[in-house]
Amino acid sequence: LRVGPISAGGLLAVLIILYASEYSGVAGGSIAGIAVGTCFAFTGEGLSGLAGAYGVGGLMAGLFAPIGRLPAACAFILSSAVVSLSSAATTQRLDTLWEIAAASVIYMLLPERLTGGLFSRFTAKTDDREAPRAQDLRRTVVARLDHAADALGEVASTVAQVGEKLDKAQRQHQSSALQELRRTQTAQDRQRMVQQFTAVSTVMEEMAAEFELFERSDGTSANLVSEVLYEFALEPLDVSCRVDRFERMTVEILAMRGEGVKVNKAELTNEISKACGRTFSQPSISRTQTSWRLVFCEKPRFRAVMGSARHNCYNNLLCGDSTRCFEDGTGRYIAILSDGMGTGGRAAVDGVMVSDLLAQLIQAGVGFDSALQIVNNAMGVKSGDESTATVDIACIDLYTGITEFMKAGAAMSFVREDGKVHPVDAPGIPVGILEQASFHCTQEELGSDDLVVLVSDGALCEGTAWITALLEGASDSKTPQELAEAIVAGAVARRSDEHDDDVTAIVMKLHAYSQQAD
């Protein structure tokens, strides 16, 4: 029975894994995932990778099951998608991702009272007094994530080492052209497997590091937030209020999206602030057709005001530069600038794909390094032709002003601090060229009224001195938008080689919350 890309068998399989993770933990989730994935692999429908995807997904769901259904379902979706998308995309694998997403939503929507009686028959009864304290649970989950990450890293290393030895031994014997072709295909498949294990290992390490920051959950505040959501005609599926070691609260909400429902973000933020007794910034919101995910963080020390401008090469309709700027819901303002190689339609496709995928992954909670590797793998399999793009990211911590620059083949950036401008450069290689992608990083600590400027390489054809002079000579009354437009216009006007290129500039200015923004 199939409706579009979703089959009843696929839904049932994912639900079995999720419930096994909920009621039997890591062991139950892993075993169920491997067993179900192996059954699908034997069908011969191009689903040979499901044993690994479902196995890792079941393991991650089991790790997060003690925290709640939402973290467990998100961990399953994320880890399964990483393993599946790290190899070449096929119609069957894309259909599987739809089934995973649909089954995870069903899993979160089904009331526990409907399933608890059935599945509790298969679990041993425990005394509530033996339940671990929240602190112990956090340490246990962090330790398990770290251990699982190390184990997967060792698996990847072992597979790579064994493969190298086998290749060396086989090269000592003569072989036909067909045998050489098969050997090459085997080596490529093995390399994809190593990339899958490495990517999942990195995601686990990042999750462990992030989860370690949280000290406790505030159930009372979560209940109060749920009541506020009902007042705004939002049906909460899951509400989490987490307090980190710095006593800063983060509220994460998954809510049903009612048809025709409109929500005033400012009013919702104000009511949730009152309910929790804290002051929150307006939320980071990601939407699907049926639900909203909202993340509120406490109001930080700074806020970023952004302006951007661009010039299309020879005034074409399409531009190879693509930008995304957003707050991620945890007190960070993130700017992404991707420059697809060349100009025109092909470059525009690569630039938009890279910036959009990175923004979606980062907003979903994936770390920068893991997100870059996933995008790099996607660039490698999206078509037979070479696809490359630079990546330039500035991540501003709005609580401290510390700004991290992460570059993969991107152009030089600029910082104006206390009226003085200095360049920020971190040479690297664009995504889509090598099998492994990595950022070159540097860090700056900024204060109120300081500027961060990202530009594409088209702005630097006539050097950097004029940009430095422009930024140092600009008065504080100049807005980021005016500065971005001045940089782009200056780059186009100064070009002296009778050629043209895409030019993009992003200017961000920090404002202390006590100040009136421009």
Phi, psi of 250 (to 5 degrees): -120, 130
Q: What is the pLDDT of residue 131?
A: 37
**Overall fold of domain 215-297:** Alpha-Beta Plaits (3.30.70)
Q: Which CATH number fits domain 302-512: 3.30.1540.10, 3.40.50.620, 3.60.9.10, 3.60.40.10?
A: 3.60.40.10
Q: What is the pLDDT of residue 26?
A: 66
Q: Which residues, 6 or more positions from 473, have their beta carbon under 8 angstroms from its beta carbon?
A: none
What is the token pair recorded at 476? Answer: 């504080």
Q: What is the pLDDT of residue 178?
A: 74
- On the 0-12 / 13-18 / 19+ scale of CB atoms within 10 A, 152 is buried
The separation between CA 82 and the C-alpha centre of its own chain, rounded to angstroms, equals: 11
354 touches 341 (CB < 8 A): no
What is the token pair recorded at 49? Answer: 């990778």
**427: how many CB neighbours lie within 10 A of its CB?**
10
Closest by CA to 81, choosing from 254, 185, 203, is 203
How far lies 215's CA from each of 73, 133, 246, 253, 272, in Å? Answer: 22, 11, 9, 19, 21
Ranges of each domain in the chain: 2-201, 215-297, 302-512
Q: Which residues, 6 or more positions from 299, have their beta carbon under 8 angstroms from its beta carbon?
A: 279, 280, 281, 513
Q: What is the pLDDT along the chain (518 residues), one digit of tens a residue?
A: 667 677 777 788 888 888 888 777 766 777 787 777 777 666 655 555 565 677 777 777 777 776 677 777 877 877 777 666 555 445 565 667 777 888 888 887 776 655 555 555 544 444 443 334 455 555 566 666 666 566 556 656 665 666 666 667 666 766 677 777 776 766 666 666 666 666 666 766 776 666 666 667 888 999 999 999 999 888 898 898 988 766 789 999 988 866 777 889 999 999 999 999 999 988 888 777 677 889 998 888 899 999 999 999 988 888 999 999 998 877 899 999 999 987 778 888 889 999 998 998 888 777 898 889 888 877 766 555 667 899 999 999 998 999 999 999 999 999 999 999 999 998 889 998 887 889 999 999 999 999 999 999 999 999 999 999 999 999 988 999 999 999 999 999 998 888 889 999 999 999 997 644 44
- CA dist 354 and 23 (Å) reads 39
Q: What is the pLDDT of residue 227?
A: 94
